[in-house]
A and B are shown apart, each in its own frame.
Chain A
Amino acid sequence: MSERVRAPLVAIAASLGLIAAYLAFGGATYDPADVADPCATRDVATLQERDLFEAIALSSLDGAACELQVSREELTLALADEQATQEFADAHGLDAEQVEDAVQAGLVRAVEDAEAAGEVDGFEAELLHEVAERVPVGLAIDGLQSVSDDDSVQGLLELLGSIDGVDLPSVSDIPGADEIGELLP
């Protein structure tokens, strides 16, 4: 090999070899994971492992994100506070009310789906509908994720009570499921 070309060829080989090795070890795909399509069905097994109310909250976020054609994660961050919601709405050519309407519709739909699947019924279902329709959506999503399956009625009542800061009675004081409407603000 000519002395004139030897060094450049060695440099080319070393450079391409290193780049190829880095690519082989995942250099081209070392980036943040893509988020799931909110319109696609999520893994049922994963959802079933969760508390019912957390699953309803996540399902409602998926539904609303699908309708607004954004990711579930972007919508979640947008619901953090009023300023975040407004910035999200501005960025997508919406107003804050449209965003809240979409999330509320997603929440109502998620409750109906859970009811249709027999995972929730009766008094609990009625309370869930009230939460979905009356509680501000950001609060409802956050709140539902904190409601325990074991003490759901009390948790949902507290969530409803948070609308105007009204302290609702404990579930043991409730005279009957039919009278729940009268207790609501």
Chain B
Amino acid sequence: MADTASQRTREIGLALSVGVVLADSSIVTLALPDVLRDFGGTVVGVSWVLTAFNLVLALAILPAARLARARPAGGWAAGLAVFVLGSAACAAAGSEEALIAARVLQALGGAVTIACAIESLARIRGSHEAAAPIWGTAGTIGVAVGPALGGLLTELFSWQSIFLVQLPLLLILPLALRADLPAPERGREGRLDLRPEAGLALISAGLTGALFLLVILLTEGWGLSPIAAAATVSMIPVAAYAARWVEHRAGPPASAALAGGIAVAGGLGAMAVLPGASWALTLQPQLLIGIGLALVLPVLTLAAVGGRDPEGTRAAATIAARHAGIVVGIVALAPILSAQLDSQRLAAQDSTTALLLDAELPPETKVSLATALGEGIEAADGRLPDVRPSFDEVTPESGDEAAYTELESGIVDQIERAATNAFSLPFLAAALFAVLALIPISSLREPKT
């Protein structure tokens, strides 16, 4: 009984470490606007805070799997220590470059942690195939919950707190030193199947669109607070969790995966044609994406890890594929978003100037307002401005209040239209990744019974 409880505690500790490390691949998403404000720079530049972590994790996980095979327990403790050290360095970073360097350190430690946790779980459970559901679920929860958690911490404290809360991870280190692990799985490694790996990579690239783009739209485009944005994007993990009640109706695994891929593509496609600037309009596409992810990810992960994987190469390749997909997604989508924001800012500038010139207000009021708006646009430093404070600075003449309010709502509407429109093409590109994922997904065969 004591052994079972000890094994359970150990599994929870190992799964927790995988969940926390993989949450770091998305946890800073909602903090990026604050990081951008603190350090300056560009959207593309700050996106490297996310990209660097995922890129290094994708590159380091396969070599880390070899280390894990030789020293799973010691490697896990060492990896976790480096990861926590990297987290502390992130919290202390004084520049964008220092933050990115610290994220690289975090990812190196994280890759070793995950590889060793996977190997340890495989030894405890008897095979990598048997261990996959544990770390797979922990990782999916981590990635999905990451943005909401990061947003919450950013709003309540600061973006640095995201990294500081990871320091107590050191407390679970002793778990690794308490008991010997069983012997490793024996046998020859099966051939790597690239189809599920490609599917995972492309779906992950699309998922980047769902998380990275959506949180920036909510916070920077529509002016939601990080905590409100965090609550909004929680729809994806909630929908993914709720999908467990429809999974059994989705038919055989390959069909369920295909349905899931289609739902992810459909949800991202709907994001590209949002008919208004309201968080509520993002809930329905998020519902589709969340259910889709719950249907497609487990099937792809099991298809990738299934079969003979005594060395854990397939399991590590699965992590590499997912994070390579996230990197491809960010690297492809960030420049598209940046270019679209530039062009839509100019369009918004023209349309709001037209409203101001044509407004039925005394010229003196317009001139005062133009000055206040100009200062607001200057302060926005190339991003879409919040014009409401500028309107608060000017007092309309008696009798002009209605026209003044109408002008304010008209200008806010134009800016929200521009902000929303700037994300259409990037969401469409993200949907395209999900559509491309349907090719390898549709080639999956149902397991023989």
A interface, CB within 8 angstroms of B: 3-8, 10-12, 14-16, 18-19, 22-23, 25-28, 30-36, 46, 49, 51, 54, 58, 61, 71-74, 76-77, 80, 142, 145-146
Contact = CB atoms under 8 A, between A and B. Distances in A.
B269 A19 contact: yes
A145 B350 contact: no
A5 B252 CA distance: 10
B288 A71 contact: no
Interface in B282-302: 284-285, 288, 292, 295
B313 interface: no
Nearest to A146: B363
17 contacts: A7-B249, A8-B259, A11-B258, A14-B288, A15-B265, A18-B266, A18-B284, A23-B273, A26-B276, A30-B273, A32-B418, A51-B363, A58-B357, A71-B350, A72-B357, A142-B367, A146-B367
A184 B414 CA distance: 44
A82 to B, nearest CB: 15
B363 A145 contact: yes
B266 A31 contact: no
Interface in B221-261: 249-252, 255-256, 258-260
Given A18-B284, A76-B357, A145-B366, A32 B350 contact: yes
A16 B374 CA distance: 42
B210 to A, nearest CB: 14
A74 to B, nearest CB: 6
Given A15-B262, A30-B420, A73-B351, 7 more contacts: A6-B255, A7-B251, A10-B259, A11-B260, A15-B267, A18-B284, A25-B276
Nearest to A36: B354
Interface stretch (B21-29, B120-128, B341-349, B386-394): B341-349
B285 A7 contact: no
B349 A18 contact: no
Contact of A74 (B276, B350, B366, B414): B350
A58 B274 CA distance: 35
A74 B414 CA distance: 16
B395 interface: no
A30 B349 contact: no
A8 B288 contact: no
